[in-house]
Each structure stands twice: as structure tokens, then as C-alpha cells.
Amino acid sequence: MRKTSAAGMCLVLLAASCASAPVPDIKDADAKMVEQCTFVGHVNGSSLLGGAVQRTARRHAREDATREAAKLGATHIVWSVIHSSYRETAYAEGDAYRCPR
């Protein structure tokens, strides 16, 4: 059985994460910005990246949640949690809204 090094596994995961679908154009918002909008659902996303690449991991988690919001027809997201740490996977949560254009 062939062993895979940790560095090799990281490269595989990083390459796989770069091949994901494009990120939809959904705006970040606050509660005031979505007062006249329709709530379409709670969204969340995660990233297996972590450790030394926390910034990238948070971005990937947000992109994952944004793709989920697009499936709901959202135009805006009010983020409630965006988290990563050295020892945990990154995650992002928020409420998605459809606002008049």
C-alpha cells in the first residue's frame, strides 16, 4: 500500500478547491440593507483548508455559502459567522435575501 505524505495531501486538496464553480455575484449586506428584501434561507459553507492558510480557508467557506445562496435566488447575504482557526476547518454562516434590483 502506498503512503501519501501530508504535504502531498494538502496539494491535492488545494488543487481540488481551485477547480470549483465560479462564485455568483451576491452582495454582502447588513440588516439595514435588507429591510425591504425577502428572506430566502439560512446558508452555510465550509472549507477543509485550515492551519497556515486561514485567510484562504475563510474565503472558500464564504464562496461555498454564496453558491448555496445563489441556488435560493438570493441577491444579498448578511453574515452571522465566518470562522477559522489553526486546528479546525473554516466555516461561514449567514442569512440570504432576495432584494429588488
| pLDDT tens track for 66-84 | 999 999 999 999 999 887 7
Q: What per-residue confidence (pLDDT) applies to 19?
A: 47
CA distances from 67 to 42, 51, 70, 74 (A): 12, 24, 5, 10
Let me know if 40 is exposed, middle or buried by CB neighbors in 10 A (0-12, 13-18, 19+): middle
Do 58 and 45 contact (CB within 8 A), yes or no?
Answer: no
Sign (positive or negative) of CA dihedral 57, 59, 62, 67: negative
C-alpha cell read off for 30: 447588513
pTM score, two decimals? Answer: 0.73
Between CA 42 and CA 94 the distance in angstroms is 6
Decide which of 3.30.110.70, 3.40.30.10, 3.40.50.620, 3.40.50.300 is the CATH code for 6-98: 3.30.110.70
Is the pLDDT reported for residue 22 higher than 90? no
Do 76 and 37 contact (CB within 8 A), yes or no?
Answer: yes
Strand ranges for the chain from DSSP E:
27-28, 38-47, 76-83, 90-98
pLDDT tens-place string over residues 26-35? 999 999 999 9
Q: What is the mean pLDDT of the chain?
A: 81
Portion of the chain with pLDDT greater than 70, in percent: 71
